[in-house]
């Protein structure tokens, strides 16, 4: 790629996540010769844009060696900003002036992205153009399908990057390495030995002024529909023959195609919204009192679904996916709970507590909780935990995603059919919620979530 064009360059995501990720790549000499161009609806001068780049590049600059500093400086100095309504035809004119091939990054609110795409003038896109789409990709299965059809008319699937920054290289390959490079795991990795799999992304952060987006999205669309279903697929897929994008993405697709939520099963979906409370020394106001929130939207700030993967390996094993904001306990992990042993030799005292494997995300960690013989009385059973940190790459997740874009490697991008399948899985849940079939529970900010939910009680 010769040029990275960022649409929505003055926005929060571009400044806080995308540009720092890019900076890390440049600093490490992994984006040589790249030109950075910004376009946005804020009336910024080039100087103002350079100040934003300075802010976003600062950390990478601090850590860079001389060559890295020079490379960062060069990208910054050569970069230009275009004050532009990207939903108007001026966008196609701008693209035509850039050194190709160009990667166009839609760092825009989703509805604006679709209009910007229409404004690109599909017929006139230079050869080799790559389109980088942020989540959420569409708003339901039908709209994701329509968007896929539109994109497919313009560029080949290989040139479309649907970004899921949760799927940083380290997380993806740490899970695959753990599962497929260790003979002791794969034989027990099925419904014969596994009781349930839980994937949590509970955060302490509250709304943080993101009502404009979040109050129309909610936790299910924001986190579960995209990120957590992808993690679930990595935990459940059969071993791919290679790590090539086709092999890997075919296997991810196969898991998601087999997945659904059984709405008739009690507790198969749950939703809740936080009320005022305290998290550490922070006072958090009621979600509905946050600026920009419309209480009538009934937006959930905590969501949980139980997914069934209807294939031979996983039939009968619940995959419980939960994510929410303003929680007292931060949990960013997958927990694999094994079945109890079929017979504990008579004579042991105490309980056989199921073995648990915990895979933590960002930083990636691994913990195995097992039973051992207790101290004092050797016949009693006790619990111990084996822990390690998993290794990270030198890049931030957005740097990892961008590296794939620049190198033309879509391995970490969500493939079009998969993006649609993720909506197919959650659409019926969203429909049942909008029809009021599942109550909107409440939980106090800073708590573990509604007490009636087993996941809040650690069960
Ligand atoms: P913002 O709401 O901050 O919008 C991004 C930028 O787009 C803003 O600068 C906005 O300008 C600009 N914009 C809006 N309309 C136009 C237009 N017609 N022409 C040109 N520029 C326009 O969104 P975020 O930065 O928060 O998010 C962008 C994308 O990234 C979204 O898809 C989001 O889901 C995704 N994302 C965001 C994350 C985050 O933490 N922010 C995390 C992960 C993904 P103005 O403010 O003037 O309207």
CA-proximal residue: ligand 1, atom 22 (nearest): 41
Q: How far is the CA of 109 from the centre of ligand 1 (A)?
A: 5
Give the per-residue SS3 of the chain: CCEEEEECCCCHHHHHHHHHHHHHHHHCCCCCCCEEEEEECCCCCHHHHHHHHHHHHHHHHHHCCHHHHHHHHHHHHHCEEEECCCCCCHHHHHHHHCCCCEEEEECCCHHHHHHHHHHCCHHHCCCCCEEEECCCCCCCHHHHHHHHHHHHCCCCHHHEEECCCCCCHHHHHHHHHHHHCCCCCHHHCCCCCEEEEEEEEECCCCCCCCHHHHHHHHHHHHHHHHHHHHHHHHHHCCCCCCCCHHHHHHHHHHHHHCEEECCCCCCCEEEEEEECEEECCEEECCHHHCCCCCHHHCCCCEEEEEEEECCCCCCCCCEEEEEECCCCCCEEEEEEEECCCCCCCECEECCCCCCEEEEECCCCEEEEEEEEECCCCCCEEEEEEEEEECCCCCCCHHHHHHHHHHHCCCCCCCCHHHHHHHHHHHHHHHHHHHCCCCCEEEEECCCCCCCCCHHHHCC
Check 216, 227, 251, 343 and give the catalytic one: 227
Q: Are residues 321 and 376 in the same domain?
A: yes
Q: Are residues 368 and 306 in the same domain?
A: yes
Q: Are residues 383 and 315 in the same domain?
A: yes
Q: Are residues 125 and 70 in the same domain?
A: yes
Q: Are residues 191 and 70 in the same domain?
A: no
Q: Are residues 203 and 74 in the same domain?
A: no
pLDDT of residue 441: 98
pLDDT of residue 101: 93
Residues 6+ apart with CB under 8 A from 219: 271, 300, 301, 302, 303, 323, 324, 325
Number of folded domains that form the chain: 2
Interval 196-224: pLDDT, tens: 999 999 999 999 889 998 999 999 999 99
The pTM score is 0.94
CA-proximal residue: ligand 1, atom 46 (nearest): 11
In a domain, 294, yes or no: yes
In a domain, 42, yes or no: yes
C-beta pairs of 149-156 under 8 Å, 24+ apart in sequence = 150/117, 150/122, 151/117, 151/416, 152/416, 153/122, 154/120, 154/122, 154/125, 155/125, 155/129, 155/130, 155/131
Q: Are residues 93 and 194 in the same domain?
A: no
The answer, yes or no, to whether any atom of ligand 1 lies below 6 A from the CB of 133, is no
Please give the residue range of the domain that contains residue 287: 169-393+415-456
Ligand 1 binding pocket mutation candidate from 6, 7, 8 (most atoms within 8 A of CB): 8
Q: How far apart are CA 356 and CA 196, in angstroms?
A: 10
Q: How far apart are CA 271 and CA 298, in angstroms?
A: 10
The separation between CA 443 and the C-alpha centre of its own chain, rounded to angstroms, equals: 24
Domain boundary pick from 116, 134, 152? 134
The answer, yes or no, to whether any atom of ligand 1 lies below 6 A from the CB of 51, is no
Ligand 1 binding pocket mutation candidate from 20, 38, 40 (most atoms within 8 A of CB): 40
**Which CATH number is 35's domain given?**
3.40.50.720
Interval 330-352: pLDDT, tens: 999 999 999 999 999 999 998 88
Q: Are the beta carbons of 338 and 184 closer than 8 angstroms?
A: no
Domain boundary pick from 111, 134, 157? 134
Ligand 1 binding pocket mutation candidate from 18, 161, 208, 213 (most atoms within 8 A of CB): 213
Q: Are residues 81 and 220 in the same domain?
A: no
Domain boundary pick from 134, 156, 185? 134
> Is 203 annotated for ligand binding?
yes
In a domain, 162, yes or no: no
The answer, yes or no, to whether any atom of ligand 1 lies below 6 A from the CB of 68, is no
Q: Within 13 A of 362's CA, how many CA atoms are on the CB side?
A: 18
pLDDT of residue 111: 85
**Which CATH number is 249's domain given?**
3.30.360.10
Query: Which stretches of the chain score pLDDT less than 50?
Result: none
Q: Are residues 103 and 173 in the same domain?
A: no
Q: How far apart are CA 142 and CA 152, in angstroms?
A: 15
In a domain, 141, yes or no: no
In a domain, 149, yes or no: no
Known catalytic membership, residue 216: no
In a domain, 313, yes or no: yes
Q: Are residues 229 and 346 in the same domain?
A: yes
> Is 85 annotated for ligand binding?
yes
Q: How far apart are CA 200 and CA 320, in angstroms?
A: 8
pLDDT of residue 362: 77
Q: Are residues 68 and 124 in the same domain?
A: yes
The answer, yes or no, to whether any atom of ligand 1 lies below 6 A from the CB of 41, is yes
Q: Closest ligand 1 atom, CA of 113? A: 32
Q: Are residues 215 and 115 in the same domain?
A: no
> Is 382 annotated for ligand binding?
no
The answer, yes or no, to whether any atom of ligand 1 lies below 6 A from the CB of 109, is yes
In a domain, 351, yes or no: yes
In a domain, 17, yes or no: yes
């Amino acid at each position: 790629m010769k040029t990275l064009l960022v649409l929505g360059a003055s926005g929060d995501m571009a400044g806080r996540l995308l540009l720092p990720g890019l900076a890390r790549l440049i600093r490490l000499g992994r984006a040589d010769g790249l030109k950075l161009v910004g376009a946005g609806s804020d009336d910024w001068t080039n100087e103002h844009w350079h100040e934003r780049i300075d802010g976003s590049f600062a950390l990478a600059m601090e850590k860079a060696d001389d060559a890295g500093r020079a490379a960062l400086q060069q990208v910054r100095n050569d970069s230009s900003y275009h004050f532009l309504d990207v939903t108007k035809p001026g966008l196609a004119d701008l693209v035509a002036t850039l050194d190709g091939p160009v990667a166009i990054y839609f760092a825009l609110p989703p509805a604006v992205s679709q209009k910007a795409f229409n404004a690109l003038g599909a017929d006139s896109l230079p050869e080799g153009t790559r389109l980088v789409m942020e989540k959420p990709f569409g708003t339901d299965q039908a709209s994701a399908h329509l968007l896929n059809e539109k994109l497919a008319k313009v560029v080949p699937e290989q040139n479309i990057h649907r970004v899921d920054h949760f799927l940083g290289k380290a997380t993806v390959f740490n899970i695959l390495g753990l599962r497929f490079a260790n003979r002791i795991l794969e034989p027990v990795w099925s419904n014969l030995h596994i009781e349930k799999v839980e994937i949590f992304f509970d955060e302490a952060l509250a709304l943080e002024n993101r009502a404009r987006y979040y109050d129309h999205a909610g936790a299910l669309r924001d986190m579960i529909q995209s990120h957590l279903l992808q993690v679930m697929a990595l935990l459940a897929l059969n071993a791919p023959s290679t790590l090539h994008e086709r092999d890997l993405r075919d296997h991810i697709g196969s898991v998601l195609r087999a997945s659904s939520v059984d709405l008739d099963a009690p507790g198969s979906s749950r939703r809740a919204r936080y009320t005022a409370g305290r998290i550490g020394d922070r006072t958090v106001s009621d979600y509905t009192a946050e600026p920009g929130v419309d209480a009538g939207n009934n937006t959930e700030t905590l969501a949980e679904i139980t997914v069934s993967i209807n294939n031979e390996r996983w039939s009968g094993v619940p995959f419980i996916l939960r994510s929410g904001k303003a929680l007292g306990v931060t949990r960013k992990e997958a927990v694999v709970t094994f079945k109890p042993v079929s017979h504990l030799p008579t004579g042991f005292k105490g309980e056989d507590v199921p073995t648990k494997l915990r895979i933590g995300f960002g930083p990636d960690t691994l913990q195995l909780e097992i039973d051992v013989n207790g101290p004092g009385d050797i016949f009693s059973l006790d619990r111990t935990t084996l822990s390690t940190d998993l290794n990270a790459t030198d890049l931030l997740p957005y740097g990892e995603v961008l590296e794939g874009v620049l190198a033309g490697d879509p391995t970490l991008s969500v493939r079009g059919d998969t993006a649609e399948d993720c909506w197919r899985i959650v659409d019926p849940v969203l429909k049942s919620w909008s029809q009021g079939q599942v109550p909107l529970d409440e939980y106090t900010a800073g708590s573990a979530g509604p007490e009636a939910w087993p996941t809040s009680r650690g069960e």
